[in-house]
Chains A and B, each alone.
Chain A
Amino acid sequence: MAVTDTGATERLEPEPDAAHDPSLSPAGGHVDHMHSPIPQVIHHQAPASTAVDQVDRAPRGVKLAKISQTGDRVFRALASTGALAIVLIVLFIGIFLLALALPSLQANQDNFFTSRNWSVGGTDLAFGIFGLFWTTVLSSILAMAIAVPIAVGVALCLTQYLHKRASGPVSFVVDLLAAVPSIIFGLWGLTVLGPFLAPAAEWLISKIGWIPLFSENIDPKGSVFVAAVVLAIMILPIVTAISRDVFAQTPRDHIEAALSLGATRWEVIRTAVLPYGRSGVISASMLGLGRALGETIAVMIILTTPAPGSPFSPSIFAGGETFASKIANNAAEFDSPAKTGAYIAAGLVLFVVTFAVNAMARIIADRGGAKS
Chain B
Amino acid sequence: MSATTTTNTDAQLSFRRPSGIRTVKNGAATVFVTIATALAVIPLAWVLYTVITKGIRLILSQQWWLQSQRGITPRREGGGAYHAIVGTVEMALICAAIAVPLGILGAIFLIEYAKGTKVARAVSFMVDILSGIPSIVAALFIYALFITIFGLGRSAVAVSLALVLLMLPVVLRSTEEMLKLVPQELREASYALGVPKWKTILKVVIPTAFAGIMTGIMLGLARVMGETAPLLILVSYAVGINFSPTSDTMGALPTMINTGRDQPPQFPGYERVWAAALTLILISMVLNLLARAIARASKLKEK
- What residues make up the interface of A, taking CB atoms closer than 8 Å to B? 5-6, 8-9, 12, 33-34, 37-39, 42, 67-69, 71-72, 74-76, 78-83, 85-87, 89-90, 92-93, 96-97, 99-100, 149-154, 156-158, 160-161, 170, 172-177, 179-185, 187-188, 191-192, 233, 236, 240, 262, 264-267, 269, 287, 290-291, 293-297, 301, 323-324, 327-328, 331, 334, 337, 340, 343-344, 347, 350-351, 354-355, 357-359, 361-362
Contacts and interface: CB of A to CB of B under 8 A. Distances in A.
Contacts of B257: 183-184, 187
A197 to B, nearest CB: 12
* 9 cross-chain pairs, A with B, having the tightest CB-CB distances, nearest first: A294-B134, A153-B36, A181-B226, A82-B105, A358-B132, A75-B198, A9-B194, A266-B29, A79-B109
A96 to B, nearest CB: 5
B165 interface: yes
B135 A296 contact: yes
Contacts of A74: 198
A240 B33 CA distance: 12
Given A5-B195, A90-B130, A97-B141, A157 B23 contact: no
Contacts of B163: none
B144 A97 contact: yes
A298 to B, nearest CB: 9
B259 to A, nearest CB: 11
Given A33-B188, A296-B229, A354-B134, A92 B145 contact: yes
B158 interface: no
Contacts of B126: 86-87, 90
A334 B148 CA distance: 10
Interface residues of B, number: 101
Interface string B181-218: 00010011001111111111110000000000000000
- A interface SS class: helix
B91 interface: no
Contact of A184 (B28, B145, B281): B281
A93 B30 contact: no
A351 to B, nearest CB: 5
Given A5-B194, A172-B292, A180-B47, 4 more contacts: A96-B145, A151-B36, A266-B29, A267-B22
Contacts of B292: 172
A362 B125 contact: yes
B7 to A, nearest CB: 24
6 contacts: A80-B113, A151-B36, A354-B132, A359-B129, A361-B132, A362-B128
Contacts of B274: 187
Contacts of B136: 294, 296, 323-324, 327-328, 347, 350
A59 B151 CA distance: 68
A323 B133 CA distance: 13
B51 A188 contact: yes
Interface in B16-41: 18, 22-23, 25-26, 28-30, 32-37, 39-41
Contacts of B228: 181-183, 296-297, 328
B152 interface: no
Nearest to A71: B198
Contacts of A177: 40, 43-44
